Amino acid sequence: MDITSPRQSGILDIARREGRVTVDDLSGRFGVTPQTIRKDLNELCDRQLLKRIHGGAMFPTGASNLRYDARRGMAADAKRRIGLRVGALIPNNSSAILNIGTTTEQVAMALRAHDGLMVVTNNLNVVNILRDAPGVRVMIAGGTLRAFDGGIVGDATVEFLSGFKVDYAVIGASAIDPEDGTVLDYDHAEVHAARTILTHARRTILVADAMKFERTAPVRIARLTDVDIFVTDRPPPDAVLDLCADSGVRVEVADTEEDPTP
């Protein structure tokens, strides 16, 4: 569910920057009553975009991930622009693996008009997006289906993915450490599949919006230096830009829709 209230969007921005917000402070900042702020916080917490604490709310970090429909609503426009940019990077008559994640689903949307494309995926949502695209052939991984997000994981998934060598791999992440560029996620089984994907492609693309630099997660996928292209929606922190420059990682900032072709 997308956030429709500009005030709620502003509350989320403050929570991301400061870690937590209070009813009294927000009431003063936005010039509304505490009751109005409490209603906003209750709605944001019901969507699992914030976590309720005494007197306010905090931005969720650490070992627990957000509900999948809540993640889909966060940074929705940024993810769409990232998807368009990656769609321009992947040519017709090629092959690609797309893993689990709301941003990779936006990449799938951008690939619907491609021709002669083979897509391998362990993401049931990607399958549904591409199933009627006339120029795209979809290969679906076997394994255990996670009902809450449509991801397919497990040993059978890894074995299936290991049988391919594609032109492009597109992976997402739940968090990126802004100091050393470690790419992180929450689920070890999902990470195992992502690592396999990275080693079975000629070119690797990481897709992550700028909010991922403000979150943490416990399981390491790789480092930014392990991918070829990093596509995001805003310029990364200077330390990350330096790391990418030193390692030859190409950074693509999808900040406009005027011309997604590099």
Please state the pTM of the whole predicted model: 0.74
Three-state DSSP string of 91-150: CCCCEEEECCCHHHHHHHHHHCCCCCEEEEECEHHHHHHHCCCCCEEEEECCCEECCCCC
The Cβ-side half-sphere exposure at 157, using a 13 Å CA radius, reads: 25
pLDDT < 50 positions in the chain: 1-2, 63-64, 258-262
Helix (H) or strand (E) holding 189: helix 188-198
Q: Which is it for strands 201-207 and 229-232: parallel, antiparallel or unpaired?
A: parallel
Question: What is the Cα Rg of the chain in Å?
Answer: 19
Domains, the chain, with CATH or none:
6-60 (1.10.10.10), 71-253 (3.40.50.1360)
pLDDT confidence of residue 20: 82
**pLDDT digit string (tens) for 174-227?**
899 999 999 999 888 889 999 999 999 999 999 999 988 988 888 999 999 999
Task: Give the tokens for residue 80.
Answer: 């769409």
> Which pLDDT does position 58 carry in this prediction?
86
Q: What is the rounded distance in angstroms from the CA atom of residue 50 to the CA atom of residue 132?
A: 36
User: For position 1, what pLDDT does the model report?
Assistant: 43
- What single-letter amino acid sits at 80? R
So what's the pLDDT on residue 46?
A: 84
Mean pLDDT of the chain: 89
Determine the pLDDT at residue 256: 66
For residue 43, with 0-12 CB atoms within 10 Å meaning exposed, 13-18 middle and 19 or more buried, which class applies? middle
* pLDDT number for residue 72: 53
pLDDT at residue 186 in the model: 85
Residue 260's pLDDT is 47
Q: Which pLDDT belongs to residue 113?
A: 96
